[in-house]
Structure 1
Amino acid sequence: MSIIFHDLIGADPARPFSPHCWKVAMALAHKGLPFERNNVCFTKVLEVEGGISKIVPVVRDGTKVVADSFLIADYLEQTYPDRPSLFGGEGGQAMARFIESWSNSTLHTALAGIVMKDIHDVLEPEDQAYFRQSREARMGKKLEQIVEGREAAIAGFSTKLMPLRLTLKAQPWIGGSSPLFADYIVFGALQWARVISSAKLLEEDDPVFDWFERCLDLHDGLGRSVPALS
């Protein structure tokens, strides 16, 4: 029986964009677990699994329901230990926690100033109203003000990736010799921008570009199955 994976979408159900949901999609594929996507828009999230979470991703595996991308990865690791590991041990799980904190605080913060209005523009009208109200209340400014420095944010984004760039000069994956959940955490952030925005964030001679392209090809091209926004 397939795992039910509640995933976030906008007006186009073929373009899931949530960075946290992409982490889970890649984790499920890494484990080789069949899953069925249930498309959810922003205003329907509270209807998922009896309102277990205010956000997605959420997965149902039989009678077990788990919310939060890291908790889902931990659940998959514990429940399916015979399948490829997402962490490579306790140390790898602790390292992934650090990578998630860095990605959320550095990459997501920088990307918000680039893609926030792009997200709004690909939603259905009802979701646009919710998204605008909730994000403007959270950030204390209009969406248009949030992205006022967009071009400068795009130009400066590369510097945010320096720790990753230096790591990838020494090893092929964040996880070392093969990808782990830590890779999917950062991949999710960059895939978010790729799917939702036409902003060019990576140069082709950047080691991060090569790594990201290889991430897109993982698991029979799961990431590449959603085209970049042109």
Structure 2
Amino acid sequence: MSNIIIFYDIASTVPGQAFSPNTWKTRYTLNYKRIPYRTVWVEIHDVEAFCKKNGIPPTHDLTLYTLPAIYNPTTGTTIAESSRIAEYLEATYPDTPKLFPGGTHALQHAFIDAYDATLMPFYQFAIPAAFKIITPNSQHYFRTTREAFFGKTLEDLLPTGQAREEEWAKVKAAFDKVDGWVKKNEASSLYFYGTDPSFADFTVAAVLVWLKKIWGEDSPEWQDIMAWNEGRWGTLLKELEKYETIV
């Protein structure tokens, strides 16, 4: 049996397939820690059945089956959810680069919660765009589940006209707020903690990669983000590009 970790990721139509922000956190983690792995692609509409069949535990108060997930044949461990995976890999491979340096576990998890809440305004722009790169077999599932969650059709979710300008201004304000958090790190103008990337940085980069893939690099939305905050977000992605390998 191979000792290579199995990484379960969500399939899409983009080159290389990887697009989900949650699974990108785990891909960054595996690549940064130089842990050998291979990817198994799973259609979104198949996630729950696939997880149940392969013994992947539910997440979110044990009520939902989600990806990313990993299986480590060396320890026989199966685990889901990007933060839990990061904690597990940090403990299991202590001699690899650190995701949570200097006892920053609690601080980073608090940041991730705040970051997710702060960037809520962009989902109304991102979800309709994400639908366009979902595999055909999963488009119906994606549409019905997201429309049920937001209480709107994907078409109505996307703001237009004056509402679009107002809501997009909220997105910029959210990025400005996160930019202010980063600037409090006296050791680095790029990373949140110290001079090396941490799981918090991978969380931010994972969302950025997702937005770049769903909108496209030439889109006005992506061009706006690249211009904000003195080009911080493009610089961060460029610095972490070496950890974007898809295997």
Whether TM-score is above 0.5 comes out as yes
Alpha-carbon deviation of 1:55?
0.8
Instruction: Determine whether 1:64 maps to 2:77.
Output: yes
Of 111-120 and 195-204, deviating more is 195-204
Distance 2:182 2:114 in 1: 16
Identify the residue that residue 102 of structure 1 maps to in structure 2: 114
Name the SS for the 2:96 alignment partner: coil
Alpha-carbon deviation of 1:106?
1.9
Distance 1:175-1:162 versus aligned 2 partners, 3 A rule:
same
Alpha-carbon deviation of 1:211?
4.7
Distance 2:242 2:145 in 1: 36
Distance 1:15-1:126 versus aligned 2 partners, 3 A rule:
closer
Identify the residue that residue 136 of structure 1 maps to in structure 2: 147
Aligned pair count reads: 221
Name the SS for the 1:60 alignment partner: strand
Among residues 156, 161, 184, which one is paired with 2:170 in the alignment?
156
- Counting only pairs closer than 5 Å after superposition, residues 33-44 of structure 1 correspond to structure 2 as 33-44=35-46
Name the SS for the 1:202 alignment partner: helix
Identify the residue that residue 228 of structure 1 maps to in structure 2: none
Partner AA of 2:47 in structure 1? V
| Alignment deviations for residues 142-184 of structure 1 (CA, whole Å, 9 cap, x no partner) | 1111112484333432210223322444433112211100111
Unaligned runs of 5+ in 1: 226-230
Identity %: 28
Distance 1:116 1:78 in 2: 34
Alpha-carbon deviation of 1:11?
2.8
Distance 1:51 1:166 in 2: 38
Distance 2:140 2:23 in 1: 22
Distance 1:217-1:133 versus aligned 2 partners, 3 A rule:
same
The runs of at least 4 consecutive aligned structure 1 residues that moved more than 6 Å come to none
Of 73-82 and 122-131, deviating more is 122-131
Distance 1:203 1:13 in 2: 22
Distance 1:112-1:82 versus aligned 2 partners, 3 A rule:
same
Q: Cα RMSD between the aligned structures?
A: 2.2
Name the SS for the 2:9 alignment partner: strand
Alpha-carbon deviation of 1:27?
1.0
Identify the residue that residue 10 of structure 2 maps to in structure 1: 8
Among residues 187, 205, 208, which one is paired with 2:205 in the alignment?
187
Identify the residue that residue 47 of structure 2 maps to in structure 1: 45
Distance 1:67-1:51 versus aligned 2 partners, 3 A rule:
closer
| Alignment deviations for residues 70-128 of structure 1 (CA, whole Å, 9 cap, x no partner) | 000000111111111101133x1111111211222121x22211111111111233311
- Counting only pairs closer than 5 Å after superposition, residues 192-203 of structure 1 correspond to structure 2 as 192-197=210-215, 198=219, 199-200=221-222, 201-203=224-226
Partner AA of 2:240 in structure 1? L
Of 162-171 and 135-144, deviating more is 162-171
Unaligned runs of 5+ in 2: 59-64
TM superposition score normalised by structure 1: 0.86
Among residues 54, 79, 85, which one is paired with 2:98 in the alignment?
85
